[in-house]
Amino acid sequence: MSSRINLPLRPSATRDWLRSLLKAANTVTELTLDHDQLQARFGSGDSYPVAVAGESRLSPRLTLLKIRPTDSRFHSRLVVLANFGPGFRNVDPDEFRRLRMWLRLGQSNRPLVSNTDTGSAQ
């Protein structure tokens, strides 16, 4: 199994104005993980290494990632990853699962973000 994760984000909006908003130059259009470095590609075509903030939340169907460029503390973005089934998803289910696993286990088994389960001790 390859360690590379390629997760293009596909807008599933039905309204033209919302779909065009999701294609803006500053919108995250793809997340790529290669050699333990997460990269975000934007609608402008630019790609930057990003860090995932601890405020991010993971669940099997919905993940809210707060990301920011690794060379800055500013300009954080919220990326919504949804997989509610064939009619309502913006990510490939297998790549989405692999990304969530990497986020939970992190580098050297150090968690990068919190799980949404409130019953577990953190």
8 Å CB contact between 114 and 58: yes
Tens of pLDDT, residue by residue over 59-89, are 999 999 999 999 876 688 899 998 988 878 8
pTM comes to 0.76
Structure token pair of residue 33: 């993980």
DSSP state of 72: -
| Strands (DSSP E) found in the chain | 5-8, 28-34, 37-42, 47-52, 57-58, 62-69, 77-82, 114-115
Tens of pLDDT, residue by residue over 83-122, are 988 878 888 999 999 999 999 987 544 455 555 544 444 3
Best CA proximity match to 65, nearest among 93, 120, 102, 35:
102
Structure token pair of residue 122: 């953190």
